[in-house]
Amino acid sequence: MVNPFDLQGKNAVVTGANTGLGQAMAVALARAGARIALVGRSTPDDTQAMIVAAGGEAAVVMADLSSSDVAKDVIAESEAALGSVDILVNNAGIIRRQDALEFSELDWDDVMATNLKVPFFLAQAAAQSMVSGGRPGKIINIASLLSLQGGIRVASYTASKSGLAGLTRLLSNEWASLGINVNAIVPGYFATNNTAALRQDEVRNRQILERIPAGRWGNPDDLGGATVFLASRASDYVHGTLIPVDGGWMSR
């Protein structure tokens, strides 16, 4: 029986893969057989080494993902390195914190560009390549709990991630008939560098854990299964969905 999760012969682009969630997703895709283009401003030496150690292959594409001007070049450079692009994981993102009464236009624009505008144009460039090459494809957006909730003090982040959820659905409507699946993963609270302050805050850490039915913070490796599923043939009839990987947070 053919393994529907096998990614042998597939090529994946993963943005923001130098650490944390992006690193874990890139390694999971590589372990499933995909070749990976690691995209970002920082050289992903550790991620590349982990992929090679697992018997995989990874190319590096350096790009500043704060501007949509780079989208076509990112896909073109990934194709030059790998031969084609079959999978895109839109993971790179930033966050700015400030009370809504004081939130600056600069912090609004910076976050909206990186978290919403650039993912759209990367998806567009990838889909154009898939369609012109007559290939099916998988696009995975990394949304947030704040795609589904409001949060506080992160106006542009909440707006951008809510927008990304809507964009996921829109693109799935337009591209499903072209053989392109567009879906999103909604990570919960994960133990990464970005959440170190929360985990070190005794009160906030306890409050978060009390809300999570699984009773623990997520490990980045916990995202691997959902990522491989959405990138593989196993999800061929899955379009426009948001899959929470959150230890049960949203069901509480």
Please give the positions annotated as active site: 157
Strand 58-62 vs strand 180-187: parallel, antiparallel, or unpaired? unpaired
Token digits of residue 86:
């079959």
Angle at the Cα of 173 (from 118 to 5), degrees rounded to 5? 80
Q: Say if residues 18 and 192 touch (Cβ distance below 8 Å).
A: no
DSSP letter, residue 189: S
Q: How far apart are CA 172 and CA 164, in angstroms?
A: 12
Q: How far apart are CA 134 and CA 70, in angstroms?
A: 24
Q: How far apart are CA 13 and CA 245, in angstroms?
A: 21
Rg (CA), the chain: 17
Task: Give the length of the chain.
Answer: 252
Q: Say if residues 14 and 37 touch (Cβ distance below 8 Å).
A: yes
